[in-house]
Amino acid sequence: MQRRQSSKTPKQPLQVHHKNQTDLSAWRKGGRIDPEKSVQDHQSPNDQKNDSKQDSLEQALSYFEKVQDRVSLKKNDVLQKHLTTVETIALQRGLPPEGFDVLLNVALSGKLADTVNTRLLKSLVPASVIPETSVVSSVSWLCVSKCSDNVQLLFLRWLITVFDFIDHKEQLHALYGFFFSFLQDEKMCPYVCHLLYLLTRKESVKPFRIRRLLDLQAKMGMQPHLQALLSLYKLFCPQLVTINLPGKMKTYFKNSEGPWKAAINTVRRRNQENSPVSKPLLLGTAQPQSRKRKWNTQLIIPASSTNKNNLEEDREKNRVDLYSMNESFPVEQLQTFSQLLQNIHHLEFPSQMGSVLTNPLLLHYMNCIKDESIYLRLYYWMGQTLQEECTWCVADNNQYEEEFKDFLETVYKTECFLQEGFSSCEVFLYKSLPLWDGFCCRSQILRLVSWIPLSSFSEMKSHLYDPLAQLFFTSSLYFKCSVLESLKELLQNWLNWHVIHLDSDSDSEVHSLNTTLSGLVNVVAELIHFVGWISTVALRLENNPTFLLYFILDFYETVCDMYLRYNLPLLIMPPAGVFYPALLSMDSVSLNQLCYLMYRYRTNLVAAKENELSKKKILQFKFSSQTYQEYNQYIIAMVGCLWTSSAFQKDVHPQGLRMDDELLKKTTVQEFKTSFNIVYHPAMMGYAVLFLQQAWPDDTTFNFGLIKGKKWNWYLEYLYAQGLKGLKVFIESSINRVSQASHSKAGNVQV
């Protein structure tokens, strides 16, 4: 048997899902690579208008970069236009990192009127991160007091709200003293306290600062914001802060979330939808709000965070670093593939396995680690989430269909990435398909179907085939085609799985019950028979549309090559209900496709026969003689139909075209004998007409009889040149042309 035959064929089976592999380079964050770009790379292609938006944003930014002093908003349409652009894009998609420098500079420099500055500051919603440098330069503007108090306050509130979005904080920490000096401004004091609270580290706590805070407290009285900062200082350095602070306060800081919080959440949700790469580092303010009343039913894929369950017994040690970990590398810091490679020996999975779905690096890691508990954790989480969020199984869930779609999409992408179906998805599909209307989340559900793992037929029949068939027969043509497409992918995924396991398990004899070769052959055969059955019925129901036929024949393109491409000892011919509609199709595309199929069937059957005859090893599986017989019946019909004009006489298939001459005469069709060959076949006649026009431009009688002898060969060459490659390989392989001169004596080769 040719083991690696599959790799020689032009279409490699394993590349089928290549397009869904997540681009690793896009995962790299920070550094010189612009994270915003990676977000945009993943936006759906139908979002074309993003490009024009991007352009207008760039224009607006370059305008603000160059804007001169004292431009009045009322009189300047250009300013108005660019301001509106910035506002709209900021609220819809957030601003890219490079935008902050420009906008903060202009807003804080006092060049423009305060209304403009305020509007600019209010639209500073980050799409991904905010560069630290832009924040540092704004602080320098703050120090030269070019802007009004209100703008200063607004800037501080903004800084507090977006603190977690700033990409680095080292330089910001270096400015601790500057911020501290702003404390003396009474209006700014509460916000500065809050900011310092966020910035304070142990080394920031200095005796002179404590004194200053105590002085301020003496001057302004017991202010909650001052107490908050003092209590934090006391937490870090209890020996330095000796005063008694009153018990717990309800709120230390005024709500400084301002106008940004809601916009940030919206933008973040939107960007997360568009990108398979989540931003696991965004914590705190960026946490999406619970949208549903029930606390445990939010469809949020958890962020990757280190498993904190490894806490130490020693309480004193815990005081030093709150949750001390072992030597393991924190998943939050895992950003690049090289980091993954360097730390793979001491990496630990995040505390919630569900977070791997949006983290390609962890998925790579998951691929390397074969640990049952990983899959089990994922199984429980995914199973529960799918059941709880299913929009047609749970009442009142239908308003969240979009979110559920996104979730299913993420699950599907993960399956493509891992090249493996999740058993929790399988269980979910089996439970929910009988209740499915075939409409809700259609493409997502059908794509998940294509990743159902191999299992025993009895299960597949009652759980998958029966509910699917019911929907299939009662739904639109488009739905039928989608089902056929996903069943083709299901078949390909099974076959790929088989090929991979042929290689990896070649030494070991260990197979679970349903993955033995005979088990696999049976399950695959059942799938193909199922598709044959629904295809036959669908062609009748829909009256043989070419569109449907295309999807059906596409399925059989995988089937006809299973022996050579996937090394599976199984070939199944399409049922007559598929073969004859394709053969008699009015469309050359279907006929050409059928020709290609028959050529591949022939190649596979000949190869199988040769293997059988050479008997190098005792074959466990042989194709039944019935397969050969069916193939031969079909080939006779085809040759009769396309070449020898003898379809009505020679077809021996019980459901075939054979008809008595008496009956044919009653149809009153003249020359019924020649009415099916490559000239007269309804799918080919169009070509014949064009050929006649080119060969005999003056002849307007359309005398098809002229195409014979040498012209017949020219006509063939003409057809091949028109792209009928399937016809070409079929005629060249299956029709034995006795002599190039005479076409009428051509016969067919039977295998």
Partner 1 sequence: ENVDPQRTAFLLRKQWTLYSVTPLYRFSNARLRDYARLLSAFIAAEKQKGLAVEVGVELDIKVAVSSLPDLKGSDQDQAAILVQLSSRSPASPKNSEEKLIWSGWFCCVSGDDLSENVPEDFTCLPLFLANGAESYTSIVGNWFQKTFDCCFRRLAISPLHLSWMAAMWTGCKVDKTACAMELVFSVPRLPQPLDISYAIHPEDAKALWDTVQKTPGEITQEEVDVFMDCLYSHFHRHFKIHLSATKLVKVSTAIASAHCDGIIKFLQSQYLTGVLMLLTELAISRIQ
H or E segment at 650?
Answer: helix 647-650
Cβ nearer to partner 1, comparing 380 with 439: 380
Binding mask 160-199 for partner 1 (x = CB under 8 A): -------------------------------------x--
Instruction: Count residues near partner 1 (CB under 8 A).
Output: 40
Q: Which member of 84, 352, 443, 603 binds partner 1 (CB under 8 A)?
A: 352
Nearer to partner 1, 169 or 711 (CB): 169
For residues 666 and 672, what is the distance between their CA atoms, to the nearest angstrom?
A: 11
What is the footprint of partner 1 within residues 376-415 (CB under 8 A)?
Answer: 376-377, 380-381, 383-385, 387-388
Least separation in angstroms between CB 270 and partner 1: 23
Site stretch for partner 1 (CB under 8 A), options 150-158, 296-304, 477-485, 591-599: 296-304
Name residue, tokens 């009895």: 458
Window contacting partner 1 (CB under 8 A); options: 128-136, 295-303, 487-495, 672-680: 295-303
- What is the spatial distance between Cα 461 and Cα 469, in angstroms, rounded to a whole number? 10
Provide DSSP, 695-733: H-TT--S--GGG--THHHHHHHHHHHHTT-HHHHHHHHH
User: Which H/E stretch holds residue 747?
Assistant: strand 747-748
Dihedral sign computed on CA atoms, order 518, 521, 524, 525:
negative
Instruction: Say if residues 29 and 35 touch (Cβ distance below 8 Å).
Output: yes
Residue with tokens 């005796």: 207
- Here the tokens at position 383 are 């199973």
Amino acid at 78: V
Q: Does 353 bind partner 1 (CB under 8 A)?
A: yes
Q: CB of residue 245 vs partner 1: minimum separation in angstroms?
A: 13
Q: Give the residues across from 347 on adjacent strands.
A: 329
Determine if 453 is a binding residue for partner 1 (CB under 8 A). no
Considering the rule CB under 8 A, would residue 450 count as an interface residue with partner 1? Answer: no
224 interacts with partner 1 by CB under 8 A: no
Q: Which stretch binds partner 1 (CB under 8 A): 99-107, 249-257, 484-492, 579-587?
A: 249-257
Quick one: 32 or 250, whose CB is closer to partner 1? Answer: 250
Q: Is residue 309 near partner 1 by the rule CB under 8 A?
A: yes
Q: Give the range of 74-82, 174-182, 247-255, 445-453 binding partner 1 by CB under 8 A.
A: 247-255
Q: Partners of 747 in the beta sheet?
A: 736
75 binds partner 1 (CB under 8 A): no
DSSP secondary structure string for all residues of 672-696: GGGSSSTTTSTTTHHHHHHHHHHH-
Minimum Å gap between C-beta 728 and partner 1 is 56
Instruction: Break the chain down into helix, strand, coil percent, rounded to 5.
Output: 60, 0, 35
Stretch that binds partner 1, among 84-92, 184-192, 291-299, 638-646 (CB under 8 A): 291-299
CB of 8 to partner 1, least distance (A): 43
Under the criterion CB under 8 A, does residue 244 sit at the interface with partner 1? no
Question: Does position 321 bind partner 1 by CB under 8 A?
Answer: no
Please state the closest distance from residue 321 (CB atom) to partner 1, in A.
Answer: 11
225, two tokens: 């914001």
Is residue 235 near partner 1 by the rule CB under 8 A?
yes
User: Minimum distance between the CB of residue 172 and partner 1, rounded to whole angstroms?
Assistant: 17
Does 747 bind partner 1 (CB under 8 A)? Our answer is: no
Say whether residue 542 binds partner 1 (CB under 8 A): no
Q: For residues 222-231, b (16+ Cβ closer than 10 Å) or e, as one string?
A: ebbbbbbbbb
The answer to the question of residue 373 lying near partner 1 (CB under 8 A) is yes
Which residue's entry shows tokens 């709150």? 322
Write a three-state SS string for 144-164: CCCCCHHHHHHHHHHHHHCHH
Pair 319, 238: CB distance under 8 Å: no
Q: Are 350 and 362 in contact (CB under 8 A)?
A: yes
In the chain, what is the straight-line distance between the N-terminal and C-terminal CA atoms, in Å? 19
User: What's the min distance (Å) between Cβ of 300 and partner 1?
Assistant: 11
Residues interacting with partner 1, by CB under 8 A? 197, 228, 232, 235, 247-248, 251-253, 284-285, 294-297, 302, 305, 307-309, 311, 313, 315, 318-319, 322, 351-353, 372-373, 376-377, 380-381, 383-385, 387-388
